[in-house]
């Protein structure tokens, strides 16, 4: 299932149209849609770890945590992924990532996915 993204055009289309087009059409339209090569679940895992390792725990990180959850990464798996990555990416970065992941996966605690 190809990911249809318009966030780039919505947020930056007037200011940076080429960047917005590359974000929406190339990154999400072409790269994320290559599911025969790597599943959406695996792409989510790689993306979350990549963003965490850079310390980028902003709204884009939240978006990718939500995508990871939607793509089948469970709360338990996310905790394990971030714990493992903490040793390679940095402990403070993991703390920040865990704080946001707790918010995203909070619904799981009440039985809602």
Domains and CATH numbers, the chain: 1-37 (no CATH), 38-108 (1.20.1290.10)
Residue 112: count other Cβ atoms within 10 Å of its Cβ: 7
**HSE of 81 in the Cβ direction (CA atoms, 13 Å)?**
24
pTM of the predicted structure, to 2 decimals: 0.85
Q: Are 68 and 48 in contact (CB under 8 A)?
A: yes
Spatial distance between the Cα atoms of 29 and 33, rounded to a whole number of angstroms: 6
pLDDT for position 3 = 57
Mean pLDDT of 89-111: 89
* Per-residue pLDDT reduced to its tens digit, 88-99: 999 999 999 999
Q: Which residue has the higher pLDDT, 5 or 3?
A: 5
Task: Assess whether pLDDT exceeds 70 at residue 109.
Answer: no
| Band of pLDDT at residue 1, cut at 50, 70 and 90 | very low
User: pLDDT per residue over 72-85, tens digit each?
Assistant: 999 999 999 999 99
């Amino acid at each position: 299932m190809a990911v249809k993204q318009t966030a780039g055009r919505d947020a930056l289309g007037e200011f940076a149209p080429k960047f917005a087009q590359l974000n929406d059409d190339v990154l999400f339209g072409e790269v994320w849609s290559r599911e025969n090569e790597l599943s959406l679940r695996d792409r989510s895992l790689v993306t979350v770890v990549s963003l965490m390792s850079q310390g980028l725990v902003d709204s884009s990180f939240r978006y990718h945590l939500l995508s990871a959850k939607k793509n089948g990464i469970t709360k338990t798996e996310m905790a394990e992924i971030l714990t493992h990555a903490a040793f390679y990416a940095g402990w403070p970065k993991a703390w920040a990532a865990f704080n946001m992941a707790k918010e995203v996966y909070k619904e799981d605690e009440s039985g809602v996915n």
